[in-house]
Amino acid sequence: MRWATHGKPSEANAHPHLDCTGNLALVHNGIIENFSALRNDLLASGHELRSDTDTEVLVHLIEDEISQGLGLAEALSAVLGRVTGAFALAVVHSSDPDLVVAARRVSPLVLGRNGDVSMVASDIPALLGHAKEFFVLDDDQLALVRPGALEVRNLDGSPVPLRPRAVEWDLEAAERSGYPDFMSKEIHEQPQALADTLAGRLAEEGSLRLDEDRLSDEDLRSVDKVFVVACGSSLHAGLVAKHAIEHWARLPVEIDFASEFRYRDPVLDGRTLVVAISQSGETIDTLQAARSAARQRARVLTVTNVVDSSMARESDAVLYTRAGPEIGVAATKTHLTQIVALDVLALYLAQVRGLFYSNELSLLLDGLRSLPSLVEETIERSGEVQATAERCAEAGSFFFIGRHVGYPVALEGALKLKEISYLHAEGYPAGELKHGPIALVQEGSVVVAVATRTPLWEKVASNIAEVSARGARVVVVANEGDTETAALADDVLWVPKAPSPLFAPVLDVVPLQLLAYHLARLRGNDVDRPRNLAKTVTVE
């Protein structure tokens, strides 16, 4: 059943939707914004609508066009000219069962072919192992899909040449390969994903090869402000990047939820670099935020995991994370690779701005190179994290706290726990707790504190004492061998010391992924497909 945008998840609201004759069937991802007016017109003209969905209007509108003598593709084009909003859809008519007509605007749609078999899907991982050739539809294009034959047209009927996309992912990358679920596989793939993301990008002179680069060093030198836009875990990676870019590149960085950014009046111009972060490259809020920034002449650099995704195609520059396909809904390896890709970007901006002595840069590059093996060591402690999860399993509420770059780690830990365990969790800057939320802390609460050794460790230690005094069970993320921190807590999640405080999130977030994972498994939840969530959110 599709992620519900209108009406409750029920049989009547499930796709496909049929027209009055029962000859047409249509599936749709996205939102038809003017559906209410269209629905009233349809009802007034005698159509019988059986669901609460926005989608159903489409199939009845096509029915009207076909009754006027149009073919399926022409009827769909005519209808799409009347609707506003976002869609990736596919429709069939019983008179020609070998033909599927598919179309997109904003929501992603890909086509695949393998000999006589043609396919339509929302993303490439769905076609891995089935398709040999992949094609991506652009906005306002439609595809006529028949066995072994694909034809793409613009809505005005003009032909679009088919251009196959290079896809390096293979089927194995999209299979569980002996792991109980994709989430644990993807957590274990993190060291390799980090190494792949760093490969070839760490030359001593700080050279960064942007994958699709329509920005010169001169362009980057002219930047006087950075604006980060993203959602969810990608936003948390962006919060880490704000520290890194401000510290190393000495550029002011603003950051906002993509869904908020596009509806306010941000101050941007041709000297603003907007960094849009999205593992999928298709999240509608981030895509639209990037488009709105481009309209205001800002340069847009996308950090994404999906080659040729909408954001990658539309941006001035692209930095790919090379995590491979991520199937689990909870972001893990894509989040970690985003952080290191953004670290590399921050170092590169510093380099083009002439802010490094070479020995300083080379120490940082060595630090980045050591991260994959340090993450490996952290994952090896999964059994200890599981034991901690068992001790916290009865808690009613979790608070994750941290300071500086520990704050986005806390946010990410809370988000992971909420998403897959359905436990109440909040992430806070540790110093903010005393301004209200601490009223909620009591016996039965668990406070997870990111307390690795950064310059703010002592402050975090005081915040831990405050929650301890109120009866909370305290779990700390602490550096191996740090007995002083361990003494403050009921449980310790050990991580190696990061080579630079700014790299600490790459290590510190791993035990929090594992904590969420083990708590969700203890509760019998499906960690890969949590309730109410979609891997890629293509509706506003």
Binding site for ligand M6R (CB under 6 A): 231-234, 278-280, 283, 286, 329-331, 415, 419, 536-537
CA neighbor of 275 nearest in space, from 366, 505, 244: 244
Q: Nearest distance from residue 338's CB to ligand M6R, in Å?
A: 8
Type of residue found at 303: V
Q: Rounded to whole angstroms, how far apart are CA atoms 131 and 108?
A: 17
How far apart are CB 461 and ligand M6R at their closest, in Å? 29
Distance from C-alpha of 339 to C-alpha of 238, rounded to nearest angstrom: 8
β-pairing, 424-429 vs 397-402, is: parallel
- What's the min distance (Å) between Cβ of 234 and ligand M6R? 4
Task: Using the minimum distance from each CB to ligand M6R, give the nearer residue, 232 or 402.
Answer: 232
Q: Measuring CA to CA, how many Å separate 329 from each of 70, 182, 236, 335, 411?
A: 41, 9, 16, 12, 17
Quote the least distance from Cβ 323 to ligand M6R, whole Å.
11
410: left (phi over 0), alpha (psi -120 to 50) or beta: alpha
Rounded to whole angstroms, what are the CA distances from 88 to 121, 239, 312? 9, 31, 18
> Which residue's CB is nearer to ligand M6R, number 223 or number 414?
414
Distance of closest approach, residue 411 Cβ to ligand M6R, in angstroms:
11
Smallest gap from Cβ 492 to ligand M6R, in A, equals: 25
Burial bucket for residue 66 (CB in 10 Å: 0-12, 13-18, 19+): buried
Structure tokens at 169: 């992912």
Please say which residue, 337 or 454, places its beta carbon nearer to ligand M6R. 337
Q: Exposed, middle or buried by CB within 10 Å (0-12, 13-18, 19+), for 424?
A: middle
* Residue 514 identity: L
Q: Where are the alpha helices (DSSP H) in 380-503?
A: 382-392, 406-421, 457-469, 483-486
Give me 287's structure tokens. 């895509």
Q: Shortest distance, CB of residue 228 to ligand M6R, whole angstroms? A: 13
CB of 125 to ligand M6R, least distance (A): 13
Shortest approach of ligand M6R to residue 379 CB, angstroms? 18
Q: Give 338 or 454: the residue with its C-beta nearer to ligand M6R.
A: 338
β-pair type (253-257, 225-230): parallel
| CA–CA dist 493, 212 (Å, integer) | 39
- DSSP secondary structure code for residue 501 in this structure: G
Q: How far is the CB of 306 from ligand M6R (least distance, A)?
A: 8
C-beta of 240 vs 492, nearer to ligand M6R: 240
Q: Whole-number minimum distance, CB 539 to ligand M6R, in Å?
A: 11
Return the bridge partners of 90, or none.
Answer: 27, 102
Peptide bond into 16 cis (omega under 30): yes
- By beta-carbon proximity to ligand M6R, the closer residue of 248 and 320 is 320
Identity of the residue, 72 or 311, whose beta carbon is nearer to ligand M6R in the bound complex:
311
Q: Give the Cβ contact number of residue 296 at 10 Å.
A: 14
Which candidate, 459, 454, 409, places its Cα nearest to that of 430? 459
Which one, 13 or 280, has the nearer CB to ligand M6R? 280
Calculate the CA 384 to chain-centre distance.
28
Taking CB positions, which residue lies at the least distance from ligand M6R? 232
Indicate the residue among 155 and 415 with the shorter CB distance to ligand M6R: 415
Q: How far is the CB of 357 from ligand M6R (least distance, A)?
A: 35
| Beta carbon nearer to ligand M6R, 38 or 327 | 327
Nearest CB to ligand M6R, comparing residues 93 and 416: 416
Instruction: Name the residue nearer to ligand M6R (CB basis): 73 or 290.
Output: 290
Contact 435, 508 (CB under 8 A): no
Dist. CA 275–CA 273, nearest whole Å: 6
Give the Å distances, CA to CA, from 378 to 152, 186, 403, 452, 478: 48, 14, 21, 13, 11
Q: How many beta carbons lie within 10 A of that of residue 154, not counting itself? A: 14
Give φ, ψ of 248 to 5 degrees.
-85, -45
Could you give the 3-state DSSP secondary structure of residue 230?
Answer: strand
Q: Quick one: 369 or 424, whose CB is closer to ligand M6R?
A: 424
Inter-residue contact 4 to 13 (CB < 8 Å) = yes
Contact assessment for residue 420 and residue 330, using Cβ atoms and an 8 Å cutoff? yes
Q: How far is the CB of 30 from ligand M6R (least distance, A)?
A: 16
